[in-house]
Amino acid sequence: MNISAKDFGPNFHWGVSTAAYQIEGAHDKYGKGPSIWDDFVQRKKKILNQHTGDIACDFYHRYTNDLTLVKRLQIPNYRFSISWSRILPNGVGQVNQAGIDYYHRVIDFCVELGIEPWITLYHWDLPLSLHEKGGWTNRDIIQWFSIFVETCVKHFGSKVKHWMVLNEPMVFTGAGYFLGVHAPGKRGLNNFLAAAHHAALCQSEGGRILRSMQSNLKIGTTFSYSHIEPFLETSDKDIKAAKKVDALLNRLFLEPLLGLGYPTKELKLLSRIEKFMRQDDEKQLAFSMDFIGLQNYTREKISHSYMIPFMQAKIVKANKRGVPSTLMNWEVYPPCIFKALERYGSYSQINEIIVTENGAAFEDHLIDNQVIDIQRTKYLQEHIAQVRLAQQKGIPVNGYFVWTLMDNFEWAEGYHPRFGLVHIDFITQKRTIKMSGNWYRQFLSKLSEV
């Protein structure tokens, strides 16, 4: 890799990302209410090895040490999420002062260390009390979410400049309300479409609230994006199937935000979302974000399948194609991040793109207090090189955040897949910087060279 961090320019944002439920622990302490993930992990066979995020990385108690690690790695920006039920234990109503104080401590310590804090408002941990009222399928979620956003901006808006409204709405609605493999474990097309439409409305409404309460904030939201290709490029059926999957996975939330409406032309199924729409909703879906967060890990090959309901399309997994893959069975294909950035750059409504997540899980082995994760190091190098290529092509990409700072609770996969730059021993909570973390530190260290 013959490029340096300096090549990206002095205003490029280099960082690392985490999420509250995946690292904080202290799940039922200091006034925090239960979230849908606190509930979901207690259901048998829902999580690999029946792991939970009850303790996770114990970041709640160890944040000073962990943020000091961020500083040691010379990472200038730290993205983290706020646990809704730590701030508002019942989702709305009385504020938990202990939760407010905790996030003030985290933010203040970031600032003290010279690390810029970036806040994600919603990273999947809906308060359980709101789920019991329908959660994302209940249109009242717009009002509930507005209260949460207002509370956060009121308390932290003077200290934090960069805000992201939602994290990957396609994932938390699709996996949580259609497939049932993530919290809250709901299934069915109607559940998904209702949740998706309400999340899309919250996405824009959250942006409007942030901007109205404090005009100097940099406001964005984040989307998962997998580059989609037909399995057989000569097959008309595979080509059509790929377009449908692309509309669902990559365009469903982005295009309404940009004022383009839902992509019903390529996926007629989405026209059923109209039953959940009210007058002026299409207008309300649109909001001009300052930046769009792109979260890319892989590409997917799609084949036609009569057997798959609604879509008639299926993903041909990496192991079925005999291609290099991660522990998540995601293909390692560095050009996918260039192609994702190129796609986002084709929308005239997008002014700035930040890669808010990119990373990989591989088999890590702690030997003699070292983790020699050559595959992850190479993955990061090759993907960062593709980001630089996109920048050289004039695509407005202006940041790159690694997922993730440290090994953590990876949702339905428990603690099995390790994505971190820092290895965590989940029994002793010992932290060990991996080879990839040391490489990232050396890469970023050039930013401070005179």
The model's pLDDT over 144-189, given as tens digits with 9 standing for 90+, comes to 999 999 999 999 999 999 999 999 999 999 999 999 999 999 999 9
Closest CA to 132 of 277, 19, 33: 33
pTM: 0.98
CA 177 distance to own-chain centroid: 17
Give the tens place of pLDDT for each residue, 309-362. Answer: 999 999 999 999 999 999 999 999 999 999 999 999 999 999 999 999 999 999
Q: Which residue has the tokens 């690392």?
A: 16
> Is residue 286 in some structural domain?
no
Identify whether 439 is part of a domain: yes
DSSP 3-state assignment of 171?
A: helix
pLDDT of residue 447: 85
Q: Rounded to an integer, what distance in angstroms lies between the CA atom of residue 358 and that of residue 294?
A: 9
> Where residue 67 sits, what CATH number does that domain have?
3.20.20.80
pLDDT at residue 70 above 70?
Answer: yes
Whether residue 178 is contained in a domain is answered as: yes
Residue 254 has pLDDT above 80, yes or no: yes
% of the chain with per-residue pLDDT over 70: 99
Both tokens of 51, joined, read 């792991």
Determine the Cα–Cα distance for residues 215 and 219; give it in Å rounded to an integer.
Answer: 10
Q: In 3-state terms, what secondary structure has residue 217? A: coil
List, for residues 197-227, the tens digit of each pLDDT value.
999 999 999 999 999 999 999 999 999 999 9
pLDDT of residue 450 exceeding 70, the answer is no
Q: Is residue 61 part of a domain?
A: yes
Domain membership of residue 417 (yes or no) is yes
* Chain position carrying tokens 């962990």: 66
Domain presence at residue 240: no
The one-character DSSP state at 127 is B
Q: Is residue 168 part of a domain?
A: yes
pLDDT at 446: 82
188 within a domain of the structure (yes/no): yes
Per-residue model confidence (pLDDT) at position 393 = 98
Query: Of the candidates 215, 213, 216, 243, which has an alpha carbon nearest to the alpha carbon of residue 230?
Result: 243
The overall average pLDDT reported for the chain is 97
| Each residue's pLDDT tens digit, 393-437 | 999 999 999 999 999 999 999 999 999 999 999 999 999 999 999
Domain of 169 in residue numbering reads as: 5-225+327-448
**Number of domains forming the structure of the chain:** 1
* Best CA proximity match to 125, nearest among 92, 159, 172: 172
Tokens standing for residue 20: 């509250």
pLDDT at position 50: 97
Q: What percent of the chain has pLDDT over 90?
A: 98
Provide the pLDDT confidence category of residue 128 given band limits of 50, 70 and 90. very high
Q: Which residues are catalytic?
A: 168, 357
For the chain, report the end-to-end CA distance as a whole number of angstroms: 21
